Amino acid sequence: MSGIDLDDFSDLIERPDGTVRRAAEERRARLTVPQGALGRLDALGEWLSAARSAVPAAPVRQPRVVLFAGDHGVAAAGVSRRPAGGAAALVRAVLDGTAPVAVLARAQDVPVRVVDVALDCDPAGLPAEVTRHRVRRSSGRIDREDALTVEEAEAAVRAGMAVADEEADAGTDLVVLGDVSVGGTTAAGTLVAALCGVDASVVTGRGGEPIDDLTWMRKCAAIRDALRRARPVLGDQLALLAAVGGADLAATTGFLLQCAVRRTPVILDGVVSAACALVAQRAAFRAPDWWLAGHTSGEPAQAKALDRMALEPLLDQGVRVGEGVGALLSLPLVRAAASLTGELPERAEGTGAADAEE
């Protein structure tokens, strides 16, 4: 396997079509509903037009939830309310249809795909379709050791790229991205702290199941210790993912970059997907133009990452569960924006905007 350089994505990724976006803005100005009356749905519809290269924006017909799953050795440091190696149980709940994301996806008729990249369990206990991209069993304890070897990080990035290609080839026209992990928010916080140049306390949150003060202090200390290895490799995104990311985070980063190459729009979920997006932005500055921030999770690292990428969340419902739930909740807004841009009538010729308001 030849070495991969994430910086090469900068030459492969183009922004959504600016000419199409201007045409969408001009069409919006001709609609019977006054400018500004639909709030952020106007800008969302124009973004969709540019991303889908169509005016009006094409309907979102084949969305898909994609969840990258993995365990993190740092969970053994007591940074979470969930036990180390507990992500497999969360995955089984998704597959059984009892997890919140599965319930919401069923209600919206959206298929869910789970990709096991580093679960700490016997792969024989899960469907082969879930485990075929597995890189390793769990990831290293980042407060004491690297999460991965560089070779494993590259394999994980390539796995994420392969999933992005599979989805694009299957006709997926929008991805709702999430994660299923235990210890993943600690790795994500480390990545954000390293890339934004802030201390551990600035990015350490309470997690999906809010932790107590003592657990928060252990989490903060784990991020602080992991930063000692992250900072020397800041100039190399692949080395950074190997040092303090994890296989599922490396795969998510590769997935995001390849989705941008394939011009597939993505809705980001919580702090894990935001941290991976921040790594991907460092490799390819145009990539964030293909992403939406689905919601705000309340995690300080997510807020820091989204601010750095100038992405404003669509929703703020206090959802902390992760697993793509918040991003999936925002999907109806995206679909609504597409419907409005495609179905609202234009004013009759010679009718001004002021007439339309009366």
Give the residue numbers marked as catalytic.
Answer: 323
Give the Cα separation of 63 and 135 in Å (integer). 26
Q: Which of 56, 126, 59, 52 is nearest to 89 (CA)?
A: 126
Q: How far is CA 98 from CA 94, 221, 235, in A?
A: 6, 34, 42
Question: Do the beta carbons of residue 122 and residue 131 sit within 8 Å?
Answer: no
CA 49 to chain centre: 21
Strands, E assignment, the chain: 63-71, 112-118, 174-182, 266-268, 291-293
d(CA 285, CA 288): 7
Kindly list the distances between the CA atom of residue 326 and the CA atoms of 72, 160, 246, 271, 276, in Å, as whole numbers in the listed order. Answer: 22, 21, 23, 11, 17
Hey, what amino acid is at 201? S
Dist CA 350 CA 220 (whole Å): 63
Amino acid at 104: L
Report which of 257, 258, 259, 261 is spatially closest to residue 277, judged by C-alpha positions: 257
CB 130 within 8 A of CB 116: yes
Q: Which is it for strands 291-293 and 266-268: parallel, antiparallel or unpaired?
A: parallel
**Strands (E) located in 12-109:** 63-71
Length of the chain: 358
Between CA 161 and CA 168, with CA 166 as vertex, the angle to 5 degrees is 95
Q: Measuring CA to CA, which residue among 352, 347, 314, 356 is closest to residue 45?
A: 314
